[in-house]
Amino acid sequence: MAKPEKTLIVGLGSMGRRYARLLPGVGDFEIYGLRSGKGGPCPGVKDLYSWAEVERVAPKVAFITNPTSLHICTAVKCAGLGMHLFIEKPLNMRLSGLAKLKKVIKARRLSSYVAYNLRFHPGVAEMREIVRREGFWHASVRCSSWLPDWRPDTNHKRSYSANAKMGGGVVLDLSHDADYAHFIFGEISSIEGLARRSSNVTVDAEDVADMNLRLKKGGYVPVHLDFCSRFNERTVKFTTREASYELDLIKGILLTSRGGRVTRKKYMVDRDFTYKAEIRYFFSRLGGKMMNDIDEASSLLGKLVKFKRGSSLA
On the question of pLDDT at 312 being above 70, the answer is no
CA 187 to chain centre: 17
In a domain, 185, yes or no: yes
**Model confidence at 114, in pLDDT bands (50, 70, 90)?**
very high
In a domain, 73, yes or no: no
- Region 27-54: mean pLDDT is 92
On the question of pLDDT at 153 being above 90, the answer is no
Q: What is the structure's pLDDT at 314?
A: 44
Is the C-alpha dihedral spanning 163, 42, 291, 109 positive or negative?
positive
In a domain, 134, yes or no: yes
Mean pLDDT of the chain: 94
Q: At how many degrees (to 10) do helices 98-108 and 294-309 cross?
A: 180
- Region 36-46: mean pLDDT is 85
In a domain, 160, yes or no: yes
Is the C-alpha dihedral spanning 163, 166, 171, 173 positive or negative?
negative
**Model confidence at 36, in pLDDT bands (50, 70, 90)?**
confident
Q: What is the structure's pLDDT at 2?
A: 60
pTM here is 0.93
On the question of pLDDT at 258 being above 70, the answer is yes
In a domain, 229, yes or no: yes
Q: Tell me, what CATH number does 190's domain have?
A: 3.30.360.10
**Model confidence at 296, in pLDDT bands (50, 70, 90)?**
very high
- Region 230-236: mean pLDDT is 96
In a domain, 29, yes or no: no
On the question of pLDDT at 313 being above 70, the answer is no
In a domain, 106, yes or no: no
Q: What is the structure's pLDDT at 160?
A: 77
State the Cα–Cα distance between residues 115 and 62, nearest whole angstrom: 13
Q: What is the structure's pLDDT at 41?
A: 86
As for how many domains the chain has, the answer is 1
In a domain, 10, yes or no: no
Q: What is the β-pairing status of strands 228-239 and 244-248?
A: antiparallel
Nearest alpha carbon to residue 184 among 217, 232, 210, 145: 217
Q: Which of 28-42, 76-90, 259-273 has the lowest mean pLDDT?
A: 28-42
**Model confidence at 40, in pLDDT bands (50, 70, 90)?**
confident
Q: Pick the residue with more confidence: 70 or 152?
A: 70
- Region 21-49: mean pLDDT is 92
The residue range of the domain holding 171 is: 118-268
Q: What is the structure's pLDDT at 63?
A: 99
The predicted-structure confidence for 168-188, as pLDDT tens digits, reads as follows: 899 999 999 999 999 999 999
Is the C-alpha dihedral spanning 8, 13, 16, 21 positive or negative?
positive
Residues with Cβ within 8 Å of 300's Cβ and at least 6 positions away in sequence, in order, are 175, 178, 179, 182, 188
On the question of pLDDT at 155 being above 70, the answer is yes
